[in-house]
Each structure stands twice: as structure tokens, then as C-alpha cells.
Structure 1
Amino acid sequence: MSININSTLDSQNKFWDVNLGGELDVSTSDKLKEYLHKLADKEMLDMKINLENLEYIDSTGLGVMIGVLKKLKVGNKEIYIINPRSNVRKIFNITGLDKIFKVEG
């Protein structure tokens, strides 16, 4: 199981564009946590996290996203979840996190 993470800074629109692929679970969540916290430390901006290529997410992965969102909320910033696959969207809906994160697409 692995996760692919890449990001770009959209300095014109002032947000981090983050793309995730693979599986976000207990074995990959620490990598994502470290990555997203480094982005927030570098520049406190909204994050648009594209989940189009994310095949799976578990509670550990959701926990990482919640932790990063809490950090961003201190600076009045948001996480936008973009293009989640139907199985990933279902997890956000079941847990009620679709009300916490801005889910689009």
C-alpha cells in the first residue's frame, strides 16, 4: 500500500493545490501528515486536496485531515476536498465530515 502526494502553490489564487493518489491508511497517514503540516508551516493558505486518484481512505487518514484542518482554522483557512471517488465520498458522508470539509465535485 502506498500513497502518492504532490502539490503546487497557486500564488495567484492563494491556495495549495494538493493531489493524492493510492491509499490513505494507517501505513501511509504519517507521510501525509508530515507533508501537509510542512505546507501549512511554509505558508498558511487554503488547501484544495484533489482525491480523484485516491482509491481508499480509512479513519487514520481522516484523522490526519482533521488535524491539518484544525491547524488551518487558526488562520481562518479551509480544506476543500475535490473530486473524491464515490467510495471515498461515502466515507466523508457517513462520518459527517462532508459538513466539516468543503467537498466539491
Structure 2
Amino acid sequence: MSLNIKYGKNKENSLEIIPVGEVDIYTSPEFKKVIFDLIETKDSNIIINGNELDYIDSTGLGILMSIYKKAQEKSLEVSIINLKPNIYKLFDITGLNKVFNIQG
């Protein structure tokens, strides 16, 4: 499977990022580069919409942590919305549900 990354400003003027497909060892470098570039150029809070995310592995979770740290350096917030139950379970097991603001 591959990864497409859609993004744009939402009504709260946050940057909404929608990963479509899988964030894994193969697609994580691209995911990280795109989001780091967006953090540098857009200077907006980040919302990661998991509605179209089918799979994430430990590499992907590590990338999310690096995105979180990069955003913190710029005093930006990172929220995650619309995770599927099987993906939320990974956040719960790893304790990342206590790090990230995860909604619905």
C-alpha cells in the first residue's frame, strides 16, 4: 500500500493533514518530510485527521512523536482526530493517547 497526504486549512485556521493509506517503515520518511516542511512554512497548529488512515506501525508512531516535538519547538499544538478503533488501540497500548490530544 502507499501513502497520499492531503492537507489544507480548516475553519479554525489550523492545518489539517489527512494521511490516506499506511504510515509505515516505507512511507514514514515522506510523511515526516511533508509535515516538517508544512510546520516550517505554515506556522499553524496541526490537526492530523485519521479518517483515511488504514495502518500505522511503530515507525509511524515514532514519526508522530518527532512531529509533536517539532511543533512544540515552534509553540504549536498537535491534535489527532477520527482514528479508527484498531489504530487508537496502538495509541492506548503505547501510552501515546496521554501525549497527544486525541478526539473522536
| TM-score (normalised: structure 1) | 0.93
Residue equivalent to 2:45: 46
The separation in 1 between residues aligned to 2:56 and 2:65, in whole angstroms, is 13
Q: TM-score, normalised by structure 2?
A: 0.94
Deviation of 1:59 after TM superposition, in Å, equals 0.7
Residue type of the alignment partner of 1:68: I
Root mean square deviation, CA, Å = 1.1
Following superposition, which runs of at least 4 residues in structure 1 exceed 4 angstroms of deviation?
none
Give the Cα–Cα distance (whole angstroms) in 1 for the partners of residues 19 and 58 of structure 2: 16
Gaps (5+ residues) in structure 2? Answer: none
Residue deviations 1:54-97, cap 9 Å, x none?
11100100111110110111122121111000111000000000
Q: Per residue, is there more helix in 1 or in 2?
A: 2
Structure 1 unpaired stretches of 5+: none
Percent identity of equivalent pairs = 37
Q: Going by fraction, where is strand more abundant, 1 or 2?
A: 1
Match of 1:25 in 2: 24
